[in-house]
Structure 1
Amino acid sequence: MGQEQEQERALLERVPSGLFIGGKWREAADGGTFAVHDPATGAVLTQVASATADDGRAALDAACDAFPAWSTTPARERAETLRRAFDLVQERADDLALLMTLEMGKPLAESRAEVTYGSEFLRWFSEEAARVQGRYGPTPEGTGRMIVTRHPVGPCYLVTPWNFPLAMATRKIAPALAAGCTVVVKPASATPLTTLLLATILEEAGVPAGVVNVITTRQTGPVSEAVLTDPRLRKLSFTGSTAVGQSLLRQAADGVLRTSMELGGNAPFIVFDDADLDAAVEGALAAKFRNTGQACTAANRFLVHSSVADDFARRVTERVEAFCTGRGTEEGVVIGPLIDDDAVERVHALVEDAVARGAVLRTGGAPLDGPGSFYPATILTDVAPGSDVLREEIFGPVLAISTFDDEDEAVRRANDTPHGLVAYVYTRSLTRGQRMIERLESGMVGVNAGVVSNAAAPFGGWKYSGLGREGGAEGIDEYLQTKYTLTGDPFA
């Protein structure tokens, strides 16, 4: 066994394999486990506990028991706990980055970037914890005094996706804890290890027993149903596909739960004829190929003005053909594996449909042989309207280009989707940029920027792309409820 393999094995041995409930590590109620795979090789990394519905209820029991004390803990103490967690994540950055690369496949450089991004939510919300405010003042009639106060919503169920295992966990856990809520976290079964390691860090930072509970499972439906149907639960936060989000919203309706939904996207990337093409190409590569295209914010439809489309396509193709594809731990790798073989088949089907409808394949376009779930960076041009690759979220390294002739057409086509998470615009015109901000039906817009995510900014979408916001000053509001009190006029 080489030095790298020994390092990987030693790290995996330090990651807990059980459920974290009430401050203790335990097996699943029925002793069940499931395998976690390396998508770059197909090899089994380790086995972790597979929670049952009873385990889900036990985790909620722990969160409910811990809620009275945590919700009344002074905000400064909660803030200092989150700040300690931030510091510890920084100290364990190498372990967390390597673990994400092993279980999810992203290049190690991107995993390190995710540690930086994900830890920032712990620091940001440590600062927001002490800023929760209310207000006091007379009624307009002068007959009494209004007191408006903010309170934690209660125990929360946080369901995180596989594509950003650390950042999606901290983006939900940090504001919940800052607000005084307790949580049950269910990470994706494909990538549970990062969340399990994060749980040990939160415990070391001083998060009390029961405040954060982590349940890993292959039985997602029964476990989630057990938690969601419990009347003590008061909040659901989910990141994932629109279809699953809709199903969870239906279940949440019976309990009238507060919900935050960060769902699918179909982001347009619009390049106008006056754009700085060098900047547009750099933005396109970042917006499309970050995380091997497996991001809800990934640019999905490239709408390029007909006068610059050929030049743009030539430039991105030259850059993409130089990409190195391989296991994320290898030096220089830009494109890692997709999460599994089903993802490869789905992406390839989208490419085949586009080509069958007349699209030109510039590079890539076929699954790679050998172990692992690899699909190469792919460029398509002349993509016809109605192609599946323009209508569905690709979630893979495929850059599909079609053309437009004027601004109105670009706006119409960009908005022609039930989704509205993010949109990207490249133009040198300030006034055009301002118009696009106003006209695009999207919760986030990048103007001459290919990456928009920031812990200090409100992340979320319009239409079928979700409800609520994560990050920014708005992020903590999702975990707070408002109480209004009227007192009689003290001078009467």
Structure 2
Amino acid sequence: MNLSDRLKDKTLFKTQSYFGGEWHSGAKTFAVDNPANRSKLADVSDVGADGAKAAIAAASEGFKIWRKTSPFERTRILIKWYNLINENADDLATLITSEMGKPWAEAKGEVAYGSAFIEWSAQEAVRIHGETVTVPFPGTRGWTLHQPVGVVSCITPWNFPSAMITRKAAPALAAGCSIVIKPAPETPLTALALAELAHRAGFPAGVFNVICGNAEDLGPVMIGSPEVRMIGFTGSTEVGKLIMRQAADGVKRVALELGGNAPFIVMDDADLESAAAGVAQAKFRSGGQTCVSPNRIIVQNGAADPFLELLEAKIAKIKAGDGFDSGSDIGPLIHDEAVARVDQLVKDAVAGGARVRVGGQPLADELGGSFYAPTLLEGGNFDQAIARSEIFGPVASVYRAKDEKEIIELANDTPYGLAAYLYTRDIGRVHRMSEGLDYGMVGVNAPMVGSASTPFGGMKESGIGREGGKWGVEEFTELKYVLLAGVNS
């Protein structure tokens, strides 16, 4: 049975929400479509506000059990979930490609990347500890504790249907929190498959919950319920600000991974072949639909012409197509509205003076889905919409600049500060520029910045908090200080 045909076996995926250790239906459903061919994959149950309330109530009960569960037992269950995910990686990748569109091999890579956060967090569960602190009061001792924050609402996007869930769920569970996950309506099938595997792993009822439905119905409950003590969100800055305002009413913790406008800087002393390969990898991964995707490629004048020639040759070879086609390098955009938005950004850039060197048009008529051609733009200016907002599509836009000072000023001229990339062979420049860039992550001669063991997160309007490493687990804990008197006479 080939990969796409496996979806005809409806046992591959669930269509109900999962909470309190059981599967639940709602009064209505919504369709999930394949963006590569616009075919319907499934009708998924919408549990509505009442379902959200029931899920949070279940999570509240689950938290009472899970917070008292030994960290060693938490580790055991998390590792079992990790193993089950890897054992079922092919099926999970099939779901990701079907509902999100990315090539199957890339989808399987996402499964491995996402499960690594479970493995890392499982190991951190037994290392969540406080410390003895010096206190100024005679006859006393002081110490600190890290305790789980409580019930956590996790709201995740469609571009990484597996990894965006595991990056939040794994550290929260390791810390002793219970979770309620709301996946994007475009990609709920992967989330529900993860819930099934969590069920098999043996999480107590109410600890791991996934609810599907309309954000307008579920969101206010997930954020406003007094039983929820923290909200983890990945998505647009606009929605992140709204969540932050709503969470303020209950003085709730938030961890927000929001929009980006990543500069990719190529200095005149850089290895240009490596830099061009880095752009091709970082920009076109997931069809450019990532928050850390290079948005503005800023090249020092002396390197611009040869760099553009190298990059043009690489982009011209990138093939768009169905993710189940082994010859496809990138898949479709998530829906037709995304194609129209990207196309308008390109048209506006061209009208403002940019030149199309490769691509520059939708491929829907040719390929039959929500496809956009891999595109290279040269020129234009930094005031255009394509330079001021996330492109979220397979469009590389290249600009020229004269020196370090100008490049850093241009790179920082944005409200966003998630990821930046710098290619140079000058170690002095590495230090000067990486420290001068107002971004939470800087990849120097490296097109990929995220891993389970390192902090992932941004500055300015790109978010609050970190995912990954020990920092990701600490996000889901409260720091408590204890003072003990009467230690000695």
Give TM-score scaled by structure 1 length. Answer: 0.97
| Distance in 1 of aligned mates of 2:28 and 2:66 | 31
| Residue 135 of structure 1, CA deviation | 1.6
SS at match of 2:376: strand
Query: Is the aligned partner of 1:227 residue 2:226?
Result: no
| Residue 112 of structure 1, CA deviation | 1.2
Q: Is the 8 A contact 1:411 1:440 kept in 2?
A: yes
Q: 2:162 aligns with which of 159, 166, 170?
A: 166
Q: Is the 8 A contact 2:304 2:400 kept in 1?
A: yes
- The one-letter code matched in structure 2 to 1:454 is S
Return closer, same or farther for 1:274/1:3 CA change in 2, 3 Å cut-off. closer
| Residue 51 of structure 1, CA deviation | 2.0
SS at match of 1:375: coil
| Distance in 1 of aligned mates of 2:60 and 2:100 | 32
Query: Is the aligned partner of 1:368 residue 2:366?
Result: no
Moved more, 383-392 or 354-363: 383-392
| Distance in 2 of aligned mates of 1:316 and 1:327 | 24
Query: Is the aligned partner of 1:79 residue 2:75?
Result: yes
SS at match of 1:148: strand
- Cα deviation, 1:119-157, whole Å, max 9, x if unaligned, reads 101100000000001122441343411121111000010
Give the equivalent residue in structure 2 for 1:7.
Answer: 6
- Cα deviation, 1:287-325, whole Å, max 9, x if unaligned, reads 100110000000000000111111111111111111111
- The one-letter code matched in structure 1 to 2:120 is W
| 1:51-450 superposed matches below 5 A | 51-217=47-213, 219-370=214-365, 371-450=368-447
| Residue 60 of structure 1, CA deviation | 0.1
- The one-letter code matched in structure 2 to 1:337 is P
- Cα deviation, 1:420-439, whole Å, max 9, x if unaligned, reads 00000000011100111110
- The one-letter code matched in structure 2 to 1:276 is D
- The one-letter code matched in structure 1 to 2:196 is T
| Distance in 2 of aligned mates of 1:5 and 1:278 | 36
SS at match of 1:157: strand
| Residue 383 of structure 1, CA deviation | 2.1
| Distance in 2 of aligned mates of 1:289 and 1:359 | 20
Q: Is the 8 A contact 1:274 1:428 kept in 2?
A: yes
Q: Which 5+ residue runs of structure 2 have no aligned equivalent?
A: none
Q: Is the 8 A contact 2:364 2:372 kept in 1?
A: no
| Distance in 2 of aligned mates of 1:235 and 1:208 | 20
Return closer, same or farther for 1:389/1:251 CA change in 2, 3 Å cut-off. same
Aligned residues: 487
Give the equivalent residue in structure 2 for 1:18.
Answer: 16
| Residue 335 of structure 1, CA deviation | 1.7
| Distance in 2 of aligned mates of 1:294 and 1:3 | 26
- Cα deviation, 1:378-405, whole Å, max 9, x if unaligned, reads 0000122311111010000000000011
Q: Is the 8 A contact 2:382 2:388 kept in 1?
A: no
- Cα deviation, 1:337-369, whole Å, max 9, x if unaligned, reads 000000001001110011001111001111113
- The one-letter code matched in structure 2 to 1:405 is K
Q: Is the 8 A contact 1:242 1:264 kept in 2?
A: yes
- The one-letter code matched in structure 2 to 1:203 is H
Q: Is the 8 A contact 1:138 1:144 kept in 2?
A: no
- Structure 1 outlier segments of 4+, above 6 Å: none
Give the equivalent residue in structure 2 for 1:42.
Answer: 38
Query: Is the aligned partner of 1:491 residue 2:484?
Result: no
| Residue 16 of structure 1, CA deviation | 1.1
Q: Is the 8 A contact 1:375 1:397 kept in 2?
A: yes
- The one-letter code matched in structure 2 to 1:412 is E
Give the equivalent residue in structure 2 for 1:469.
Answer: 466
| Distance in 2 of aligned mates of 1:44 and 1:138 | 62
Return closer, same or farther for 1:374/1:429 CA change in 2, 3 Å cut-off. same
| Residue 8 of structure 1, CA deviation | 2.4
| Distance in 2 of aligned mates of 1:478 and 1:3 | 42
- The one-letter code matched in structure 1 to 2:257 is E
Q: Is the 8 A contact 2:277 2:314 kept in 1?
A: no
- The one-letter code matched in structure 1 to 2:469 is G
| Distance in 2 of aligned mates of 1:489 and 1:358 | 76
SS at match of 2:199: helix
Return closer, same or farther for 1:485/1:412 CA change in 2, 3 Å cut-off. same
| Residue 3 of structure 1, CA deviation | 4.6
SS at match of 2:177: coil
